[in-house]
Chain A
Amino acid sequence: MTVSRESYAVIVIGGGHAGIEAALAASRLGKRTLLITMKIDALGRASCNPAIGGLAKGHLVREIDALGGEMAKATDVTGLQFKMLNRSKGRAVWSPRAQIDKLAYSAYMQSICQAQPGLELLEDEATSVLVNESKTGITGVRTRNGVDFSCQTLILTNGTFLNGLIHIGANKFSAGRIGESASVGLTESLTELGFETGRLKTGTPPRIKRESVDLSKTTIQTGDANPEPFSFSTNPFSPPDEACYITKTNEQTHAIINGSIELSPLFSGAIKGIGPRYCPSIEDKVVRFSEKSSHQLFLEPEWLNADQLYVNGFSSSLPEAVQLASLRTVAGLERVEFIRPGYAVEYDFFPPSQLRASLETKRIKGLFFAGQINGTSGYEEAAGQGLIAGINASRLVDGDESFVLGRQEAYLGVLIDDLVTKDTDEPYRMFTSRAEHRLLLRYDNAHFRLSPAGYSLGLVTEARYKKVLHDAALAKEAEDLFETTFIKPERLLGLFEAQAIIKKNQSLANLLRRPGVSVDQLMPLFPTWVKELDPALLNLVATNTKYQGYMEREKLQVERLSRHQNMLIPEKVDYLSMGAVSLEARQKLHKFRPETIGQASRISGVSPADISILLILIKKLVSRETS
C-alpha cells in the first residue's frame, strides 16, 4: 500500500557529493526540496580516498565554489593537509588538493543540510520513479517505505548503489558501499521507461590499523608551508598539516599477487563492469606493468588522529588473505592489520548520451541524473554535476531556460559536454588535457570566470560578487600598468641574470615576458600598491601578462567557434533518413540526439561535411515548420 505525501518542487535521491550540491542549490534558489537518502548519517561520506581536489579536480572544486556550491568550503573547514600540485609548472595547470577528515567532512555537510531553509531530509530508499500517463514527464517517486512523493523535478544521484555488487576474491554480495545496502528496483523502473543501462566497476584499497604500521620505515609527506584555501570565502585560513606516509611495494609483494592472480574477480571474469584505467587495482598494475618492480603506496589518515590509514595505490579485489599477505611484504607494513580489506564494486549506470547538457534526461521531462549514475568517477565530478542539476531543476520549475556552461568557460562545461557527446566505456574522470582551452581555464581565475554567472543565478552573494569585481578591476589596472611602465636598463642591475643584455627602456610586461624572468625578481620595480596586492592576484596578473600570446591565441580560437555552435536542432529530426549524411554519422546522431550543432560536431564519426549537410537540412526543416 502506498501513501501519498505533499508535493515538492525538487526531490533529490542520494546524499553523496552530487546529491548534497543538488539539494543545496535547489533549496538556496528558493525551491521546496526533499533529499531522500538511505542514511542521513552518511551524508557527504567520502567512500574512497580521504582527499578532495587534485589535478583538474581542484579546478572543478574552485568552479563549484565560484558558482555558489559547498564543496570548497567544506574542504577548507575539514582539510588536514593542503598542497598545490604542479607547482613546478605554470599556473594554468596548478591544482589544489587537500587531505580531508572524512568524519568532519560528513558532519559538516550534515549540519549545512540540516540548517538549510527549504531543504528537508528523509531516510528512505527510492524504488521507482513515477511518470505521467504518456510517460514523458516526471510526477514523483515511490519509496521502500511505500510512500509516493510527488514532485515537479526529480534528481537521481545514486552513486554506486544501483544494484551494487561488492567483490572480495570469489566472495560477492549485494551492497552499495561496504556496510550499506544496495538500491534495488530503481534501475528496473527506469529501463521499463526505455532507458539504456550498463555496468561499471570501481574499487577501493584496504583500511589498516595505524598502530600496526611502523611509520619509521616510511617517508613522511607534508603539505604546503603557505597553503591556499579552495574557497574564495575562506578567510582567515590556518589549517592543520597532518602527515601522509610513503612506502612502496617490491618484487616479493608482486610475486604473492601474481601467484594468486586467478583468485581476483578481475582476472577470473567474475567482474563484468569496466573499471577506470587511471585508477587500476594493484593486481592490474602488477600484471600490465610487469617490468616495474615497485609501486608507490601512500598511507593517508582517514581523519584527525585516526586509528586507521587509507592505503592509496593498493585498490584490490583479491581475497582478503592475499591482500594481507602481500601488504605484509612492504616496508613498514610487516605486521599490518586490517580494519577492512579492499574491494571492488560493480554498479548500474545510465550512459549519459541520454541526457541534455542541463543533465535533464531527454526521455522524461523533469528527471535529472547527476554523479556516478552518469558513469563518472570522483567526488568533484559528482559534486559539479549535482550543482548543475540542482540549478537546472530549479530553473525548470521556474520555466527559465537551462544553465549550460561552454567548454571554453569551465571544466564543468567540458565535463558535461564530454558526457553528452561521447561514448562512455570506463568511468569518466576529469583531466586537464580534456580541456582544449586549458590555458584560459585556470584554477586562479575560476572566480573571475564564473562569479558573474553564480551571482545572476542567485547562488553567490552580492558582497562576494562585489569582492570579485573589485579584484578583477585591480588585476586589470595592474596589467595595464605593466604594459605602460617603462624601465631604464640601469634599474635592472642585479635583478635577474640576463639583465646586462638589455640596452633600451623596456615595459614591465616585456621584461616579464623574457625567458626565466619571474614576477618576484621584478618586485622592486613595482609601485607600492602592486607590491601589496594579494600574492595570488599578483601572480594571476603575471601569468596573464607573461603568457599573453598564448592566451590571445586561445581567445581567438574561442571567438572563431561558429555561431552555429549554439544553433538548436529540433527534437524530432529523423537522422536515419538523411541519405547524404554518412552512415556512421547517421547512426551516431540517432543515438546521441544532440541538442545543438556544436554537440553534433563533437560526436566522433560525424565529419565537418556531415555537419554542413545537417545545417542545411535543419534550416529547411525549421523554415517548413514555421511557415
Chain B
Amino acid sequence: MFPFNDDTIAAISTPPGTGGLAVVRLSGPEALDTISKLFSAPEKLTPRYASYGKLIHPDLGEGEFDDCVVTFFKGPNSATGEDLVEISVHGGSYVQQKLLEVLLLAPGVRIASAGEFTFRAFLRGRIDLSRAEAVVDLIHARDAAAHKNARQQLQGGLLNLVGLMSDDLIKILTILEAELDFSDQEIAFTPTETHLETIRDLKTTTSALLETYFYGSRLEEGFRFPLVGAPNSGKSSLFNMLLGQDRAIVTAQPGTTRDTIEKTIIIAGHSVVLVDTAGLREAQGEAELSGIDRSKEEIEKADLVILVHSLDTEDLIPVISENTPHVIVYNKIDLGPRRPKNKDIYLSCKTGEGLTELKELLYSHVINSINAGVAGVILNNERHRNVFDRFGVQLSACLLAVEDGYGPEYVASDIRQALDILGEITGKTTPEDILNNIFSGFCVGK
C-alpha cells in the first residue's frame, strides 16, 4: 500500500540470515520517537553521530536484549529525505527479528514494502531524476521477487487458510451489510450474537498461528540440534558421521572441542544446524570454560538436544530438563555391554550401527515440528506474523463490539478493518465483492 502513507516504516536492511552485524532501519516521522523509547541513551541521539547503548526490550528490560549502535539522520538530510534511524545490532536472526518485532509494536510504525526506502528517497528528491528508471526497475524487480516469495510461502497452505478465514468474515459482513443496505426488504436477519462463535474461532486460530512463529523462524534459520555430553563421549565423531565429513577435530583427548562448531544439514527438506559443543564437565582452562558456557546456551536455544553418552564410562548421564526436547544416544556399543531395550538410541560411531535409527528419529522430529502448525501452516515471516498480530487485536475489537451490543454498522466497521488487515496477504475485499455476495445470496429489490 505504500504510496498512500506518510507513516514510519521499518525493515531489516542487511541480507537475511546470520551475519556479523545486522542493520535495522526506521524511516518516517515517528522514527526518532520510536527509537528513543527503546534505546538506553536517547539523550545521545544527535544527528549524524553513532551512539552506543543498549536496547530495552519492553518485556525483557534493559540489558537483556542486545548492545547496539544507533545512528540518527535528521530529515531532509538523510538517505530517505525524512527522519531516519539506523540500528546496528549483532548478527543473528533472532536479535534482528526480535528488534523488528518490537519496532513494529510502536504506534505509527509498519513494516516496509519491497523497495520502499528507495522509493521514499526518490519522492523526497534524495535520488537524482536520472536514476528514476533504476528506481522503477528496482521496485518492479523487488515486487516481482516479493510476489514469487509470497506465492511460494503461500503454496504451503497459508493462502488457503487466510482465504478460509477471510471467507468467514466476508460471510458475516455480507449479512451485516445486507441488513444495513436492504433493511426495508424481506430478508430474515441473523442476530449479531450468532457471529460471536465464528469470530471466537477465528481468534483461536489466530493465536495458534502466532504460536507457530517460533517454528516458522526456525524454518528460516534452521532447527538447532546441539550434541551435548561428557568429554570424550564421542560427540564430534557423531557430528562428523551425521555430516559425512571430518569437520570437527576428533582425538582421544578429552576436551578437544573448546568452542562450538556448527554445520547445516538438510533433513526432510529443512535446514538443521548441528552444533558440536564442548564437553560438560569441570573445565580446566579459560578457553574450555567459555566453551562450556556456550554449550549451556546452546541447550537453551535447542530444538532438540542430542545427549551423547558413552557406554564405556562410569560418567553419569548429564541431567537435562524435562521440558527440553532431547534424545539420549548411547555411544560406543562396540565397546560396552549390550543394552536393555528402550526407546533411546544405541549406536557405534566405529561400526555405524544405530546411525539409521538416529537419522530416522531426527527426521520424525523435524516432520513433527513442521506439523505442529495450524492446518499445516507455520508462520515463518515477520510480515505475516505482524499481520496476524494486528488481526488478532482487531478480532478482539470485533468481539467487544458485538458483546457490547453495538449496531451492525459499527461491527461491520470492525470487520472491514479486520478484513483489510488480512487483505495485506490475500488482496483487498472490495465493497463490490460484498454486494455481489448480497445479490447472489439474498433476493433483494422491490
Contacts and interface: CB of A to CB of B under 8 A. Distances in A.
Contacts of B184: 54-55, 85, 97
A612 B132 contact: no
A601 B444 contact: no
A60 to B, nearest CB: 14
Contacts of A616: 119, 122-123, 132, 135-136, 139
A89 B3 contact: no
Interface in B152-179: 177, 179
Given A86-B183, A580-B139, A608-B3, A433 B413 contact: no
Interface stretch (B52-60, B206-214, B357-365, B400-408): B400-408
Nearest to B408: A89
B287 interface: no
A609 B143 contact: yes
Interface stretch (B4-12, B15-23, B272-280): B4-12
Contacts of B183: 55, 85-86, 88-89
A398 to B, nearest CB: 33
B285 to A, nearest CB: 57
B434 interface: yes
B410 A90 contact: yes
A387 B416 CA distance: 32
Contacts of A572: none
A597 B431 contact: no
B139 A312 contact: no
Given A55-B182, A432-B180, A433-B435, A619 B123 contact: yes
Contacts of A516: 405
Interface string B412-446: 11001100000000000011101100010001111
A604 B430 CA distance: 10
A570 to B, nearest CB: 15
A564 B136 CA distance: 17
Size category, A interface = 35 or more
A340 interface: no
B140 interface: yes
A612 B180 CA distance: 36
Contacts of B201: none
A515 interface: yes
Contacts of B249: none
Interface in A290-316: 292, 295-296, 298, 312-313
A417 to B, nearest CB: 12
Nearest to B443: A289
B375 interface: no
A460 B387 CA distance: 47
Contacts of A285: 443, 445
A615 to B, nearest CB: 6
B446 A312 contact: yes
A298 B5 contact: no
Contact of B3 (A298, A439, A550, A562): A562
Contacts of B443: 280, 285, 288-289, 292, 295
Given A285-B443, A609-B139, A601 B409 contact: no
B445 A278 contact: yes
Contacts of A609: 113-114, 139-140, 143
A491 interface: no
A201 to B, nearest CB: 14
Contacts of A433: 177, 180-181, 412, 431, 434-435
B180 A560 contact: no
B220 interface: no
A620 B127 CA distance: 12
B140 A547 contact: no
Interface string A569-587: 0000000000010000000
Contact of B140 (A439, A562, A613, A619): A613
A22 interface: no
Interface in B271-320: none
A561 interface: yes
Interface in A358-383: none
B314 to A, nearest CB: 66
Contacts of B446: 49, 279, 296, 298, 312-313
Contacts of A278: 439, 444-445
B410 A295 contact: no
A540 B404 CA distance: 21
Contacts of A607: 143
B113 A608 contact: yes
Interface in A592-627: 597, 601, 604, 607-609, 611-613, 615-617, 619-620, 623
Contact of B123 (A92, A277, A615): A615
Nearest to B137: A580
B122 A561 contact: no
B136 A601 contact: no
A112 B113 CA distance: 56
A620 B136 CA distance: 11
Contact of B132 (A93, A97, A604, A619): A619
Interface in B29-62: none
A288 B413 CA distance: 30
Nearest to A51: B446
B9 to A, nearest CB: 13
A49 B140 CA distance: 52
A438 interface: yes
A496 interface: no
5 contacts: A85-B183, A93-B407, A433-B412, A616-B132, A619-B132
Interface of A: 49, 54-56, 85-86, 88-90, 92-93, 97, 276-280, 285, 288-289, 292, 295-296, 298, 312-313, 422, 431-434, 436, 438-439, 515-516, 547, 550, 553-554, 560-565, 580, 597, 601, 604, 607-609, 611-613, 615-617, 619-620, 623
- What 4 A-B pairs are tightest by C-beta distance, nearest first? A515-B404, A90-B407, A609-B143, A289-B443
Given A562-B4, A609-B139, A615-B123, 20 more contacts: A55-B184, A89-B179, A89-B407, A90-B407, A280-B445, A431-B431, A431-B435, A432-B181, A433-B180, A433-B181, A438-B409, A562-B6, A604-B430, A609-B143, A612-B139, A616-B119, A616-B132, A616-B139, A619-B123, A619-B132
